[in-house]
Amino acid sequence: MAEPIEVTDADFEQRVLERSAEVPVLVDFWADWCRPCHMLAPIIERAVAAQDGKVELAKLDTDANPATAARFGVRGLPTVKAFRNGEVVDEFTGAQPPPVVERFVDGLVPSQADELVGGGDEDSLRRALEVDRNHPVARRELARLLLRRGDSGDALSLLDGVTGDFVAEGLAARARLAGDEDLAPAFEAWDRADPATALELLQAALADPQRSDDIRKVMVAIFTELGADDPLAREYRRRLSAALN
């Protein structure tokens, strides 16, 4: 069984945040005086070892490394945080029984469907849906491929029932707008990764009240893909709000 790595304030960025872009990293925030920490440690180690390298375990002594503990809001011990792509994706505080810890660690490992979605091609996406017919990312990305080749009806059927995903909602709106030839250049710009042109064309089309709600959803999808802090997203979000108010 691989030993957990000991991390510090000095190397946390490299050994946890950067490393988590390659594999999920579980961080056990602990202190030597904390009895529940000592009880939890072997349970976490066994659960991580069972993943055979698909998850890594790091330990941070909060007494010796208070800056990192404060940075991530650690207020009780033990605290366990899971990192993926430099971000906390799940966490718990307090000693937990083995089944709870095992489920927590299992949830960090990509499923077979997740791995297939990573392929990105139509065959992989369809195989992912055979494994998990409700996989939201597989449904969304397959719908995107279908829209690009003009199969708007099949794309809309795939997206039916997908909630809480602004990109999926935007793709569904695009499918409903597929018959509007004047919007085709905007969608083509989105497909070729030219969001500035896509947003400008969509903004110009907002004046039509019959299409404005679906156009808004397409624009929000593009904002989401750009990221909240992207200057282009901020500018067009402001323009969209002004146009609709």
CA dist 70 and 153 (Å) reads: 51
Q: Which structure tokens are listed for 59?
A: 């330990």
Residue 210: how many other CB atoms lie within 10 Å:
7
SS3 sequence, 101-133? Answer: HHHHHHCCCCCHHHHHHCCCCHHHHHHHHHHCC
Check if 153 is active-site: no
> Among the options 17, 23, 31, 34, which is catalytic?
34
Strand partners, 82: 26, 90
Check if 67 is active-site: no
Q: Which structure tokens are listed for 163?
A: 């909630």
> Among the options 37, 47, 82, 186, which is catalytic?
37
Of the candidates 178, 167, 172, 179, the residue with the CA atom closest to the CA atom of residue 156: 172
Q: Where are the beta strands (DSSP E) in the chain?
A: 5-6, 25-30, 56-61, 79-84, 87-93
Triad 18, 23, 24: Cα angle to 5° = 90
Catalytic site residues?
34, 37
